[in-house]
């Protein structure tokens, strides 16, 4: 059962059964919690934007005396950014927990060093396979089949710029939420049709904005000065909720819907692959062979990489 009382587990897309006795069941519960939060968040955002599509304010131009209408984007809930951080943390934690379970399955003993590395450099990934005087790689304790599974999902092995791979964005968003700030969201609004205008007594429009993106506070309509009993200005708009910034990540989109959907799919694929591997390779009782040791040069390189990453945070 999940934290919400709903049953989880059952057959994965690859036909591997995960019940409450399976070692990966706690990972699946956490993953399902993240997926549920994602669906609830996107539903809440959609409902809120359906009710609040933005507002209009009317002012008078002191130079010309004309009446001016400005559009203001809807305000977003800070809590949404907090929930995104919780979703990202659960998804990223699933990967670390998964590696600990694989180490135990392979006959090893997980430690403080054990985790799921996300590397944009092949040299950095190789360093997680070895042990040095002051450093133990995150994958020490795994057998070759498990290492190959994790290597398959690394940005450095994707065949493209590692900074654009979704799993790297997961790492970036996780570090932002842990060390920097709550994820900030911005509303991007677009005018999808002409401005609707009606005045009593009738007035001639001087200018209306053309369909396209609208900045917050943008002028959308202007009419001649005078006294009007009633003026109605309407704008047909659509609003997307975007991540404010992702620092060194370069995602194809900043829209939170596609980003969260993609991250959930990526983690699901890794969990399913791990379940299939554990099904095909029985648990080991003997410890795996000892990992290679760092040379002095490799240890120095690892220290420089760690130092740079700490400074970037």
Residue 258 resides in a domain:
yes
Residue 259 resides in a domain:
yes
121-135, 225-239, 263-277, range with greatest mean pLDDT: 263-277
Residue 60 resides in a domain:
no
Q: What is the pLDDT of residues 20-76, one digit of tens each?
A: 888 999 999 999 999 999 999 999 999 999 888 888 898 988 888 888 989 999 988
Domain count, the chain: 1
Residue 207 resides in a domain:
no
**Structural domain containing residue 106:** 10-53+77-183+250-312
Question: HSE-up of 147 (CA within 13 Å, CB side)?
Answer: 16
Q: What is the pLDDT of residues 207-240, one digit of tens each?
A: 788 888 888 999 988 888 877 768 888 888 888 8
Residue 88 resides in a domain:
yes
Residue 110 resides in a domain:
yes
């Amino acid at each position: 059962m999940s934290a919400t009382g709903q049953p989880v587990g059952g057959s994965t897309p690859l036909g591997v059964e995960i019940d409450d006795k399976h070692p990966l069941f706690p990972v699946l519960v956490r993953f399902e919690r993240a997926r549920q939060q994602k669906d609830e968040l996107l539903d809440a955002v959609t409902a809120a934007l359906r009710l609040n599509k933005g507002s209009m304010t009317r002012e008078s131009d002191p130079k010309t005396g004309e009446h001016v209408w400005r559009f203001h984007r809807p305000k977003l809930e800070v809590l949404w950014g907090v929930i995104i951080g919780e979703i990202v943390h659960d998804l990223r934690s699933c990967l670390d927990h998964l590696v600990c379970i694989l180490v135990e399955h392979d006959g090893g003993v997980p430690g403080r060093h054990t985790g799921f590395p996300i590397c944009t450099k092949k040299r950095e990934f190789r360093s997680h396979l070895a042990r040095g005087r002051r450093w133990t790689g995150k994958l020490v304790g795994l057998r070759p089949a498990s290492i190959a599974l994790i290597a398959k999902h690394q940005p450095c092995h994707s065949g493209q710029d590692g900074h654009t791979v979704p799993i790297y964005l997961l790492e970036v968003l996780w570090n932002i939420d842990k060390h920097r700030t709550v994820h900030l969201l911005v509303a991007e609004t677009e005018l999808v049709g002409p401005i609707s205008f009606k005045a009593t007594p009738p007035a001639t429009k001087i200018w209306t904005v053309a369909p396209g993106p609208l900045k917050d506070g943008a002028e959308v309509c202007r009419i001649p000065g005078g006294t009007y009993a009633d003026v109605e200005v309407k704008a047909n708009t659509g609003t997307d909720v975007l991540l404010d910034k992702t620092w060194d990540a370069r995602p194809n989109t900043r829209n939170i819907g596609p980003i969260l959907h993609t991250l959930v799919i990526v983690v699901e694929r890794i969990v399913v692959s791990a379940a299939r591997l554990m099904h095909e390779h029985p648990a080991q009782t003997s410890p795996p062979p000892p990992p290679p040791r760092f040379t002095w040069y490799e240890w120095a390189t690892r220290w420089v990489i760690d130092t740079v990453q700490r400074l970037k945070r």
